[in-house]
Structure 1
């Protein structure tokens, strides 16, 4: 089993360097991480294996999620970030939903950005689809791309 049969993924080409895309991913998550009119607030982002990843989302009518709590499994600056919600900080087990894989690859004069949600089983994958993976992650991707390209134009 490769693990990919339970994946959902979005990808796009961004007319910006991997360095700019990395900076937008790490430093500007509140501006792109969830579909507008929702907004995200980074609670903690300890970018190292075992470091805490915690983000809370707020809706336009006062709705709140989470926080979405997990840990970083792998961090390769400008190239790859892997997080999971199977653990909270300190390797405390919690009910898992997915592992997120964020890839930044050079492509032409820009960057191929791919965001993948890998689920433990077909039922969880289907639930994520029903929750609105598409268009939610599609809109997140479009917001990320636009912000990266705006930052590149200013550089």
Structure 2
């Protein structure tokens, strides 16, 4: 089982995780709505993409849907994409129309995908406006949520590969 490494320093969170799949499969799982929705939310939650335009300047509007059908909306704006290498952008809490909720932190992220033989190492560097904002998202359960979502991604990638 792959271990997720979290490093929080000041207002920056770095997350590293290696997946047992080729970079093209891991990249697709992060950049195609149909696949992203299959793993992004920790069970029993689900991710539901309302719209996604994966290009520089494009956005993904999505909801995290809980077991009682409660919805927490988010919007991701993509600012830089280098195919199968990295993508960066901003992620924010929003309403179902994509209006950003100023009560919650905005994350500026850079996701890197490095091919390591038959595996792919994903490094996520996320910067918040302040150390307090980073603490706020950690207290909201982001670490456990991401760890569990990565377990879902492991399952998806294992099922996608030829046996």
TM-score range, shorter chain: 0.7 to 0.9
TM-score for both structures, normalised by structure 1: 0.82
Q: Return closer, same or farther for 1:99/1:19 CA change in 2, 3 Å cut-off.
A: same
**Which of 75, 82, 90 matches 1:84?**
90
Matched, 1:37 2:37: no
Q: Return closer, same or farther for 1:33/1:82 CA change in 2, 3 Å cut-off.
A: same
Matched, 1:128 2:137: yes
Higher RCO (Cα < 8 Å, 6 or more apart): 1
Instruction: After TM superposition, give the deviation of residue 37 of structure 1 in Å.
Output: 0.5
Instruction: After TM superposition, give the deviation of residue 94 of structure 1 in Å.
Output: 7.0
Extract unaligned runs of 5+ from structure 1: none
Q: Return closer, same or farther for 1:146/1:9 CA change in 2, 3 Å cut-off.
A: farther
TM-score for both structures, normalised by structure 2: 0.79
Q: Return closer, same or farther for 1:139/1:9 CA change in 2, 3 Å cut-off.
A: farther
2:84 counterpart SS class: coil
Matches within 5 A, 1:46-85: 46-66=53-73, 68-85=74-91
Extract unaligned runs of 5+ from structure 2: 1-8
Q: CA RMSD in A?
A: 2.2
What is the aligned length? 146
